[in-house]
């Protein structure tokens, strides 16, 4: 017997499928004869399916080419008018040691995005990065540790550039041991930044205070509400690293900071990628799987792809010295996934128009 038939949706095969299905139910005593007939027809259906696959792949490729062409034309027009198409990537950073890789991740996302020559010519990449309070000390540890070249994130405004240079000179005299001060003073206040070598990239950083008292935050009726504004602007969101705490909050709908408020209001027709990072004991705790399952179930299959996609952690020696699964996967792998999913999403959105 052939396996269950699943081609009934294909209009050309529908009749054949119905015949095949009825031959088993209505004429079981003719099994031998029908078996031969079924096998032949199954073979024909398989051939038909193969052709359909080839046809679909060809049509998708053509659509992709047309999309690229339209994008090129649009960008040429925009360039003539002195404008570029803006693509908004939201990067949420939470309190895992892997937050030390924040600047590296921004770099890798930018590298990956502008690896496509068309992007360099046509678009402006706007990265909006939100750090939780627990993430800020890890981000600062990087800046203090000097793991990145001084110019890796460059303020776009000259006065802010000078302020940053002065802060860098004085960084050893300053005491930011209460955690978070440097992130607020440098990465939020002196923004927006550009990524060294990529003038078409703008990085704007946010903290919880950005909801209220930063320029652009909410003060009175009619003002921008930051978490809704970012939710609306974003084409894609990645949480990297995602701490056990934030994972639990998303699973349960808690929203007591800017990052989780964005996620609580998230538009699940847009892609959301989550890269958990935590100690092996935390990762192996059964509650972690429950939270991941709950997130997948609640936000599961959405109009776009899987709705939420998890970029699972990897095995390595963790900060605590133990070896095990729980470390955030490499930033280059996260960046590649973000840009691949972003491109698919933008292409799908445009072909659907």
Which residues of the chain form contacts with ligand FMN (CB under 6 A)?
A: 94-97, 132, 134-135, 243-246, 277-278, 282
Residue whose CB is less far from ligand FMN, 7 or 254: 254
Q: Which residues contact 127 (CB under 8 A, 6 or more apart)?
A: 89, 90, 91, 106, 109, 110, 201, 202, 203, 204
| Contact of 163 with 157, CB cutoff 8 Å | no
Q: Is 6 helix (H, G, I), strand (E, B) or coil?
A: coil
In the complex with ligand FMN, which residue's Cβ is closer, 94 or 194? 94
Q: Minimal distance in Å, beta carbon 147 to ligand FMN? A: 16
Cβ 175 to ligand FMN, closest distance in Å?
18
Please state the closest distance from residue 130 (CB atom) to ligand FMN, in A: 11
Alpha-carbon radius of gyration of the chain: 25
In the complex with ligand FMN, the residue whose CB is nearer, 45 or 278, is: 278
Measured at the CA of 132, the angle between CA 335 and CA 251, to 5 degrees, comes to: 80
In the complex, minimum distance from the CB of residue 22 to ligand FMN, in angstroms, rounded to a whole number: 57
Residue whose C-beta lies closest to ligand FMN: 95
Q: Which of 113, 37, 119 is nearest to 75 (CA)?
A: 119
Which of these, 235, 167, 153, lies nearest to 198 by C-alpha position? 153
Q: Which is nearer to ligand FMN, 97 or 334 (CB)?
A: 97
* Residue positions annotated with a catalytic role: 227, 320
Helix axes 31-80, 11-26, angle to 10 degrees: 160
Q: Whose Cβ is closer to ligand FMN: residue 135's or residue 272's?
A: 135
Decide: 241 and 277 in contact? Cβ < 8 Å: yes
* 171 token code pair: 């960084």
CB of 318 to ligand FMN, least distance (A): 8
């Amino acid at each position: 017997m052939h396996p269950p038939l699943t081609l009934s949706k294909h209009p050309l095969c529908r009749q054949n499928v119905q015949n095949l299905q009825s031959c088993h139910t209505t004429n079981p005593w003719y099994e031998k004869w029908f078996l031969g007939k079924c096998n032949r027809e199954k073979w024909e259906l398989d051939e038909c399916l193969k052709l359909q696959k080839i046809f679909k792949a060809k049509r998708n490729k053509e659509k992709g080419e047309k999309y690229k062409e339209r994008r090129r034309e649009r960008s040429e027009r925009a360039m003539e008018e002195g404008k570029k198409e803006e693509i908004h990537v939201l990067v949420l950073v939470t309190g895992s040691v892997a937050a030390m890789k924040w600047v590296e991740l921004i770099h890798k996302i930018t590298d990956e995005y502008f690896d496509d020559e068309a992007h360099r010519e046509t678009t402006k990449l706007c990265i909006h990065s939100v750090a939780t309070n627990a993430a800020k000390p890890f981000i600062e540890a990087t800046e203090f540790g000097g793991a990145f070249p001084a110019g890796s994130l460059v303020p776009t405004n000259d006065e802010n550039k000078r302020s940053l240079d002065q802060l860098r000179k004085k960084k050893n005299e300053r005491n930011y041991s209460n955690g978070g001060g440097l992130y607020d003073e440098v990465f939020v206040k002196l923004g927006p930044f550009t990524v060294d070598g990529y003038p078409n990239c703008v990085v704007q950083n946010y903290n919880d205070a950005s909801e209220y008292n930063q320029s652009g935050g909410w003060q009175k009726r009619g003002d921008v509400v930051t978490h809704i504004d970012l939710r609306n602007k974003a084409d894609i969101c990645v949480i990297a690293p995602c701490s056990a705490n934030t994972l639990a909050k998303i699973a349960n709908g808690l929203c007591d900071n800017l990052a989780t408020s964005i996620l609580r209001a998230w538009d699940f027709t847009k892609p959301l990628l989550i890269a958990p990072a935590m100690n092996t004991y935390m990762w192996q705790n059964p509650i972690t799987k429950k939270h991941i399952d709950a997130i997948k179930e609640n936000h599961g299959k959405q109009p776009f792809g899987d709705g939420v996609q998890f970029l699972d952690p990897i095995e390595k020696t963790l900060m605590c010295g133990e070896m095990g699964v729980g470390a955030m996967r490499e930033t280059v792998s996260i960046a590649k996934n973000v840009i691949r999913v972003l491109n698919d999403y933008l292409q799908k959105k445009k072909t659907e128009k």
